[in-house]
Amino acid sequence: MKAAVLHHPGPSPSAPLVLCDRSVPSPEPSEVSVRVEACGVCRTDLQLVEGDLALHRCPVVPGHQAVGVVEAVGARVTGVQVGQRVGVAWIASTCGRCRYCTAGLENLCEDATFTGWDVDGGFAERLIARGDFVHPLPPTGDPVALAPLLCGGAIGYRCLHVAEVEPGSRLGLYGFGASATIVIQMARHLGCEVHVCTRSAAERRRALDLGAAWVGGDDERPPVALDAAITFAPSGDVVVAALKSVRRGGIVAVNAIHLDRIPEFPYELLWWERQLRSVANVTRDDVRGLLRLAVEIPLRTEVVRYPLARVNDALVDLAEGRVRGAAVLDLTGSAAAGG
Ligand SMILES: [Zn+2]
Ligand SMILES: [Zn+2]
């Protein structure tokens, strides 16, 4: 089978991922093997490939928004059948016993492992996942359109929870990439008034198309005080801009696994019980809650398709802000060759 393997991180234009031929992996008793149909390309993959995020193992196959069909099921796996379509998301395993796992906060488990970081991910024709960490998906529909829900969608779902967004809240979104385009649809479904700050004129237009009440540049202030804000841009300056825009008691949720830094800011910005919170990973419940909402709303994803062989181009396009919506590897053509 073909797999895009990271041996040495480097700038995306240097094509750090190498397409290799590997033997098809077999599942352990607690695992399933999945023939990948599509895998989203996330900013976290870019940060890993470029070396902004330290590698947990090397070589590694990135990719943590995989949609595919179960090909083999380990003897101890229950509730997953061969032939079923499933999603494989960022969280690959947790200990199941610690204070976080037993309190519904498995996203904070200190022994968690992550798809495409600790274990090989979906930039390949096959992947192995723990049977209790795959998510059932509808058998019909475009696997490429489903893929961005598994990370961008699920983390967006968690951001709304962390920011304590309620029906009718005035919500600010800072940055408007793939995850934000899903968040705005969920927020509008809740009846929120959404204000979007982003540097990109194309993203501002897209935000208006998706029902934003107001759009502006990343240095502009929304015309009203916000109840909550979510920052997506991987820049600490944006976090401070968001803090300036929330009302007393408001919450800023930072959706970033890596930030350059947060610049020094006057304490007055945090005073009046404003809260600054990070959003770390997702739980399986987040993924499943998001997938339920995706059917209910229904959520629309905008995707740009790349064959597996062009994964490095997808990363460059993402790095340079050229992807409209989400970049997704489409393996429906190549996977049939198998082997
Ligand atoms: Zn991701
Ligand atoms: Zn745990």
According to DSSP, residue 121 is labeled -
Q: Tell me, what's the pLDDT at 321?
A: 86
Q: Which residues of 99-116 are buried (b: 16+ CB within 10 A; e: fewer)?
A: ebbeeeebbebeebbbbb
Q: Tell me what percent of the chain is helix, strand and coil, each rounded to the nearest 5.
A: 30, 25, 45
Q: How far from each other are the two terminal CA atoms of the chain, in whole angstroms? A: 5
Q: Which ligand is nearest to the CA of 257?
A: 1
Residues of the chain where predicted confidence (pLDDT) is lower than 50: 335-339
108 CA → ligand 2 middle, Å: 7
* Distance in angstroms (rounded) separating the CA atoms of residues 161 and 157: 7
- Beta carbons of 38 and 66 less than 8 angstroms apart: yes
- Beta carbons of 306 and 328 less than 8 angstroms apart: yes
- Beta carbons of 278 and 239 less than 8 angstroms apart: no
Q: How many CB atoms lie within 10 A of CB 97?
A: 10
* Distance in angstroms (rounded) separating the CA atoms of residues 326 and 148: 6
Q: Tell me, what's the pLDDT at 98?
A: 98
235 CA → ligand 1 middle, Å: 17
Q: What is the pTM of this model?
A: 0.91
* Distance in angstroms (rounded) separating the CA atoms of residues 244 and 252: 10
Q: Tell me, what's the pLDDT at 305?
A: 97
202 CA → ligand 2 middle, Å: 41
Q: Which residues surround ligand 1, an ion (CB under 5 A)?
A: 42, 44, 151
Q: Tell me, what's the pLDDT at 162?
A: 97
283 CA → ligand 2 middle, Å: 11
For the chain, strand residue ranges (E) read: 2-6, 17-21, 31-41, 66-73, 85-88, 91-93, 113-114, 126-130, 134-136, 170-174, 193-197, 214-216, 226-231, 246-254, 275-278, 303-306, 326-330
105 CA → ligand 1 middle, Å: 18
272 CA → ligand 1 middle, Å: 33
Q: Which ligand is nearest to the CA of 108?
A: 2
102 CA → ligand 2 middle, Å: 7
Q: Which residues surround ligand 2, an ion (CB under 5 A)?
A: 94-95, 98, 101, 109
Listed in sequence order, the DSSP H helices in 58-215 are: 143-146, 152-162, 178-189, 201-209
149 CA → ligand 1 middle, Å: 10
